[in-house]
Structure 1
Amino acid sequence: MREPPYLPFLSGPASLAPGLKPIAPENLIAPDTEAEVWLPDKRRIMRDRRAEVFFSNLPDALLAEASALVTDHLPPSEEDWPTPLEAAAARVSDDLCLLQRGADGLWRLEAASLVAPTFWRLADKAGQPLGGLHDPVPDANLGLVSRIARMFDGLRPGQVLERFNWTVQAGDARFTPDAAPLKALAAATPDDSALSVLHLRVERQTISKLAGSGLLLFTIRIAVDPLEAALSSPERIAAFRAAWDGTDPALAAYKGWPHYERLVRAALRCLS
């Protein structure tokens, strides 16, 4: 098992707080920790299930601006894809979403290549404003949405913000528009197999603003690793237990954690 690239539970319980931190612009994508393990499957899904994982209300010229920002650190490619956004998404492990600010001041999802959704369907969110994207997240009220929108408004081209989100799941699937199969697998797994089934799923998200169009580029990189690999020391086990127990029950319920509570407890007993 590899060393997981991200361990956000070391920073404390899961939270709805934006938690955005500035990073160097050259780290928008690089280093791509997941390309080797994910890109072949990602490209296959992009071609075979395009209607489920891609949509755009934007002209190719705007998609090309985003594509250039994502791939300018990579050598040229002759691979053929229907749109510039898909051409970029096929070369990096990250999913790529573009938000546009409307005349009403609302940021809406207007284009996306989304191949590793964490339990949501692109068709349900296409064209939705920021508030719709966060529904039904608990406490994602107008105050939170307005605060994030102001942050988006104030972002300047050249700035890159990063945040992490995490959960646990049964199995190692990344294309997960529906959580039901994972919950069923968890329910069918006996306690003594918890460590072999449970995985840590981390979203590395970045936000940046395109200089020409003013669009927001939202990248989502999914890393999935066996929970056992993430909990490889007593200090990590203690931090994970504290983060799991300390997460607000409403947020834990939204994340589906009650479906994994039994297996998480069994895994922690095994590791302790």
Structure 2
Amino acid sequence: MRRPPYLPFLNGPLSLAPGLKPIAPEAWLSPDTEAHALVDKHAVMRRHRSDVHGARDGSEMAVLELASAVHAVAGPGEGDWASALEGAASAVSDDLCILIKDDEGLWRLEAASLCAPTFWRLGEKLGEPLGGLHGPVPGANPGMVSRIHRMFDAVQPGQVLERFNWTVQPGTARYTPEQTPFKKIAADLPSAGALDALWFRVERQTISKLPMSGAMVFTIRVAIDPLRAALADGAQVAAFRAAWDGIDPVLADYKGWPHYERLVRAALAEAI
């Protein structure tokens, strides 16, 4: 059982604030902590192609530029793919999203390969501006959207910004466009053994700007590890409990955490 590559709860409760921090450009996609999941990702790309791949007219230049950047880091990938975006996505565990600024100054999601969505569907978001992408999140509009717009405008090519999101889930599924199945599973799980029934899901997200097209690239890497591995010692247990308890109740409800409350309490007690 590996040590999870990311433990963002050590930095406190989740927040609606973007919380983006600069990282070294060479750390954009490397090392790929989830390369072991590529075989499963390729299966999702083929089985659910109409759901996980999309590119609107006008995104072609940005797609080719992104594909070149990904291949420069990760190599050519494996298999034959119908588009340059899919070829790039096959080489890394990260999902790849491209946002392009329209004539009205709005950043819109224009192309994406999204194989590990955390409860959203690409078909419902493709072409949407930031306000539409974040619409379901409580408190996201208008303040957060305006903030992200300004941040996107200010990012310079060569800069890479990183943030983390996390939750728990019953099982190891990465392709999760809907939360309802997890809620049903959690309701049926006994409290005994919760530490081994729950898994720790982290989204490692980055944003950067392509130098030629000026498009924004949003990457999402999902890491899934046993919750037991994330609660490996007393300090981690205490930090997790503080982060779980400290979240805004509105945000916790949006993330579905009340459905896991019973199991998380049982897991924390067992970890102690």
Task: Determine helix, strand or coil for the equivalent of 1:4.
Answer: coil
- Residue 77 of structure 1: how far off its partner (Å): 5.0
The aligned counterpart of 2:214 is: 214
Kept in 1: contact 2:59–2:110 (CA 8 A): no
The aligned counterpart of 1:158 is: 158
- Residue 59 of structure 1: how far off its partner (Å): 4.6
- Residue 142 of structure 1: how far off its partner (Å): 1.0
Task: Determine helix, strand or coil for the equivalent of 1:119.
Answer: coil
2:5 matched to 1:2? no
The aligned counterpart of 2:38 is: 39
2:252 matched to 1:257? no
Kept in 2: contact 1:63–1:83 (CA 8 A): no
* CA shift in 2, pair 1:102/1:90, >3 Å: same
The aligned counterpart of 2:52 is: 53
* CA shift in 2, pair 1:83/1:191, >3 Å: same
Determine the C-alpha separation between the residues in 1 that align with 2:26 and 2:239.
31
Determine the C-alpha separation between the residues in 2 that align with 1:106 and 1:210.
17
- Write the deviation string for residues 159-185 of structure 1: whole angstroms up to 9, x where unpaired: 110000111111111000011111111
Determine the C-alpha separation between the residues in 1 that align with 2:52 and 2:179.
16
Kept in 1: contact 2:45–2:115 (CA 8 A): yes
Task: Determine helix, strand or coil for the equivalent of 2:192.
Answer: helix
Kept in 2: contact 1:28–1:70 (CA 8 A): no
The aligned counterpart of 2:180 is: 180
* CA shift in 2, pair 1:180/1:78, >3 Å: closer
Determine the C-alpha separation between the residues in 2 that align with 1:252 and 1:198.
17
- Write the deviation string for residues 20-55 of structure 1: whole angstroms up to 9, x where unpaired: 11111111100000011x100100110111001000
Determine the C-alpha separation between the residues in 2 that align with 1:205 and 1:170.
22
Kept in 2: contact 1:60–1:83 (CA 8 A): no
Determine the C-alpha separation between the residues in 1 that align with 2:110 and 2:183.
31
Q: TM-score, normalised by structure 2?
A: 0.97
- Write the deviation string for residues 75-121 of structure 1: whole angstroms up to 9, x where unpaired: 34573211111101001000000000011111000000000000111
- Residue 135 of structure 1: how far off its partner (Å): 1.3
Kept in 1: contact 2:76–2:87 (CA 8 A): no
The aligned counterpart of 2:199 is: 199
Determine the C-alpha separation between the residues in 2 that align with 1:60 and 1:132.
22
Unaligned runs of 5+ in 1: none
Kept in 2: contact 1:207–1:219 (CA 8 A): yes
Tell me the number of residue pairs that the alignment of Structure 1 and Structure 2 aligns. Answer: 271
Letter in 2 for 1:45: V
Report the more deviating stretch, 230-239 or 193-202: 193-202
Task: Determine helix, strand or coil for the equivalent of 2:151.
Answer: helix
Report the more deviating stretch, 88-97 or 188-197: 188-197
Determine the C-alpha separation between the residues in 2 that align with 1:28 and 1:95.
13
- Write the deviation string for residues 107-155 of structure 1: whole angstroms up to 9, x where unpaired: 0000000000001111111111001100110110212111110000111
Q: Which runs of 4+ in 1 moved over 6 A?
A: none
- Residue 74 of structure 1: how far off its partner (Å): 3.0
Letter in 2 for 1:46: M
Task: Determine helix, strand or coil for the equivalent of 2:74.
Answer: coil
Determine the C-alpha separation between the residues in 1 that align with 2:75 and 2:118.
30
Kept in 1: contact 2:59–2:111 (CA 8 A): no
Task: Determine helix, strand or coil for the equivalent of 2:14.
Answer: coil
Kept in 2: contact 1:96–1:217 (CA 8 A): yes
| RMSD of aligned alpha carbons | 1.1
- Residue 60 of structure 1: how far off its partner (Å): 3.4
Task: Determine helix, strand or coil for the equivalent of 1:2.
Answer: coil
Alignment of 1:227-242 (within 5 A): 227-242=227-242
* CA shift in 2, pair 1:170/1:230, >3 Å: same
Task: Determine helix, strand or coil for the equivalent of 1:265.
Answer: helix
- Residue 193 of structure 1: how far off its partner (Å): 2.4
Letter in 1 for 2:53: F
